[in-house]
Each structure stands twice: as C-alpha cells, then as structure tokens.
Amino acid sequence: MATEIDRRTLKTRGQLYQALLKLLNQTHDFDQLTVALIAQTAGVTRSTFYLHYPDKAAFLTAAIDTASKGLFDACVTYTYSDQYADYPVFNLQRAFFYLSQHRLDLLALINVDRERFLAGFKRLLMGYIDEFTQINAIPDTINHLPLEMLTRFLSTNFIDFAWQWAILEDPESPMALAQLFKEISMLHIPGADSLNGFFIGE
C-alpha cells in the first residue's frame, strides 16, 4: 500500500513539474502563473496541488531541486578503487549531453530565480566534490593552498562555464565541451593530480 501511495505521489509531482516547465516555456513569467493553471495543465485539481506543496514558492524550490538532481543522476557515477571505497566522479560528456537535452527547461527555471538555482546546484556539486576528496584522503592543503579554496574554484568554474554555454544560440557538441572544460579546468600545481580526477572527460 505504501509503495502504491509513493508511486502516485511521484507521478503527481512529475505531472506538476512538467506542467510548470511547459508553462514557463510559454510565458516565461512565474509570477503570473496561478496554482489553478498549473494544476489544470498537469491534469490535477488545485486541492491535489496543495496536498503536495503549501504554496507556489515551495513548489518552485522543489522544481529547482528536481532539475538539479536530474543532471547529477545522469552524470555522477561511483568509481571503485583498490585503495579507497567507491567515490563519485563527474562525467563531463554526460553532463553536457544532459544540458543539451534539457537546455530550454533549465533556462526557464534559471530565469525565474537564477540566484537560487545556481546556489542549489553549487551546493550539490560541492557535496560530491567534498565526498570525493574525503574518500580519496586528499590533504587539507595542496602546495600551501587550502583544499576548500581549490574545490570552490573547480565548482565555480564549471557552473560559470556551463551557464555561458547554455545561453549561446549555437552551443558546441557535448564531447567538444567536455574536452574543452577538462583542459581549461586542470589545476597545474604540484600535488593537485588527484583532485583533477573528479571531473572526467567521458
């Protein structure tokens, strides 16, 4: 019974999420969207919407989280090491392929609240980078530079690179972008080789 309820919940939230993306791509104005219109587009009632979300703001937060999680589910994998436990790596080619497939939907959400979207995305990315550094026992300083500063540099670089790519009219192929970002994001300082292993080209 619980599983059936969970499935219904996921289905309804998925319908509401897709309805929001459809409407944003049509109007580009979240403030003008009503709960009634979102629910109607999703094929559910207003009361059903409020069973899942207390208001539009909470729904937007959930939608942003869903969009970010979708990308990480697509491009983060866990790699086995003889020396360490399984650790996450970020597949750049998969990431840019996902971004190319969902570009308009992601831009629609970013245009509603860019700061919140990018902050949430960075928080998730930093979580995986921190997990990577902890499992691989990367020291707190590399060549006298704080590890936290280096990891924030990597995460900020990717977000800025992906954002600039997303707004281009004619973006490059995912493979070319993965290779380009891998080349320009390498930390060319002694001792940083292990940290460079988080982002993989393919």
The tens digit of pLDDT for each residue in 87-137 reads 999 999 999 999 989 988 999 999 999 999 999 999 999 999 999 999 988
| pLDDT above 90 (res 167) | no
Residues of the chain by 3-state class (helix, strand, coil), percent to 5: 70, 5, 20
pLDDT recorded at residue 202: 72
| pLDDT above 90 (res 82) | no
pLDDT tier at 171, thresholds 50, 70, 90: low
Checking 164-173 for CB contacts under 8 A at 24+ apart, the result is: 165/96, 165/99, 166/99, 166/103, 166/106, 166/107, 166/110, 167/107, 171/100, 171/103
The domain made up of 2-53 is a member of CATH 1.10.10.60: yes
| pLDDT above 80 (res 170) | no
Beta bridge partners of 200: 91
Beta strand pairing status for 141-142 and 145-146? antiparallel
Q: Tell which residue, 119, 132, 124, 115, has the closest CA to residue 95.
A: 124
| pLDDT above 70 (res 169) | no
pTM of the predicted structure, to 2 decimals: 0.86
pLDDT recorded at residue 22: 95
Q: Are 138 and 147 in contact (CB under 8 A)?
A: yes
Beta bridge partners of 199: 90
The tens digit of pLDDT for each residue in 43-75 reads 999 999 999 999 999 999 999 999 999 999 999
Q: How far apart are CA 5 and CA 110, in angstroms?
A: 31
**Which of helix, strand or coil describes residue 78?**
strand
Residue 145 phi/psi, 5-degree rounding, is -105, 135
| pLDDT above 60 (res 139) | yes
Residues carrying CATH 1.10.10.60, the chain: 2-53
